[in-house]
Chain A
Amino acid sequence: AQRVTQPEKLLSVFKGAPVELKCNYSYSGSPELFWYVQYSRQRLQLLLRHISRESIKGFTADLNKGETSFHLKKPFAQEEDSAMYYCALRRGSTLGRLYFGRGTQLTVWP
């Protein structure tokens, strides 16, 4: 079975501080990992996927297969980063199905 865990339901930091949103997963195969973001009153949108290894809006995430983690990091948080962040996993055999974590609400204070 597969599972995605985001241990922090709420996370608050001050503007300019580093931020790390944790994501751990369990899956015996080779998963594809994603971070989705939902800003207030907007639809869910893709932020990062591990296979692209891009940095989007200053965020990066590295897949650590040994620790089964895919933590999202940003060195200097901005107020506009305040949003709900979801970590998601996809198995290679089920392309249209994502397994989501419960989400972390990030608040960046001025």
Chain B
Amino acid sequence: SAVISQKPSRDICQRGTSLTIQCQVDSQVTMMFWYRQQPGQSLTLIATANQGSEATYESGFVIDKFPISRPNLTFSTLTVSNMSPEDSSIYLCSVEIVRVGGRTYEQYFGPGTRLTVT
């Protein structure tokens, strides 16, 4: 398993500003993911962050708006840039653990960052 922490747990920000969310995991992992959960909706994958390479963004998400860093195998950051009220969401990071045998992929999630943009 993996224990994941996120900072901040919540924030209220003004439109036009940026917020950087930190994700820390207690073990070294290759794959880390960032998701967004808009109010009343399910989770949408923003990007995959692998250490040593550029993040891979899903359709509808761009690096200028959501820059991601992955400096080592236990840490990642997601920045929400030039925020608008539509960015109000819960942002979650997750990690993938490949079980022994290499055929089972289990994901663990952080507690989330609740962002409100006014």
Tell me if chain B binds chain A: no
Binding site for B on A (CB under 8 A): none
